[in-house]
Amino acid sequence: MKNPPAKPSQLITKEFARQLNVNYNNKRASLSAKREQKEDANAIWYSLEELENYIHYIKTNGAKDGYNVDGIRFYFGVYPDDEKHGEKAGLTTLFLVPTGKKAKDSSQIQGFAMMKETSADIQSLDPMNYGNIGRPPSLLY
């Protein structure tokens, strides 16, 4: 590989990731399981193809809407408790929302000056949801 990707600065150790997952299962998922009488999702999976497609979608459509798309915010949610959502009813979900800033002019669409401003959720682009859920105890990190 000529230009290997830079190592991301946000990487965490596998041990810390495992501890975060154990904390979630012990503190959050167990609380909702008691309330809901069923085990909650503790992991959400998206394929690389789905993520790459979503990134392409938000970059392309964000630029058309005059935005410099600079990130994705991950929100936790809970599916409505109705039969329309089947097995996911009442369970935790994770959905993705593009973030960015309105471009002041075309030369700033990818400009560094815009990175200093706070990124907001881009309301004109659709969030992404419906990853595959994992429930304890079958999926533990």
**Cα–Cα distance between 134 and 132 in angstroms, integer?**
7
User: Does any domain span residue 27?
Assistant: no
Which structural domain range is residue 109 located in? 45-134
pLDDT band at 68 (very low <50, low <70, confident <90, very high): very high
Q: What phi, psi does 97 have (nearest 5°)?
A: -130, 125
User: Does any domain span residue 22?
Assistant: no
pLDDT digit string, tens, across residues 79-112: 878 788 787 778 888 888 999 999 876 554 555 5
How long, in residues, is the chain?
Answer: 141
User: Does any domain span residue 79?
Assistant: yes
User: Does any domain span residue 34?
Assistant: no
Give the DSSP letter string of 8-32: PTT---HHHHHHHHHHHIIIIIHHH
**Which pLDDT does position 29 carry in this prediction?**
61
User: Does any domain span residue 36?
Assistant: no
pLDDT digit string, tens, across residues 9-63: 777 777 877 787 777 777 766 566 566 667 777 788 888 888 999 999 999 999 9
What is the number of domains present in the chain?
1
Strands (E), 18-134: 43-45, 67-78, 92-102, 120-121, 132-134
Instruction: Collect all residues with Cβ–Cβ distance below 8 Å to 22 and sequence separation of at least 6.
Output: 140, 141
Q: What is the pTM of this model?
A: 0.69
User: Does any domain span residue 69?
Assistant: yes
**Which pLDDT does position 107 carry in this prediction?**
53
User: Does any domain span residue 37?
Assistant: no
Whether the upstream peptide bond of residue 137 has omega within 30° of 0, thus cis, is yes
User: Does any domain span residue 10?
Assistant: no
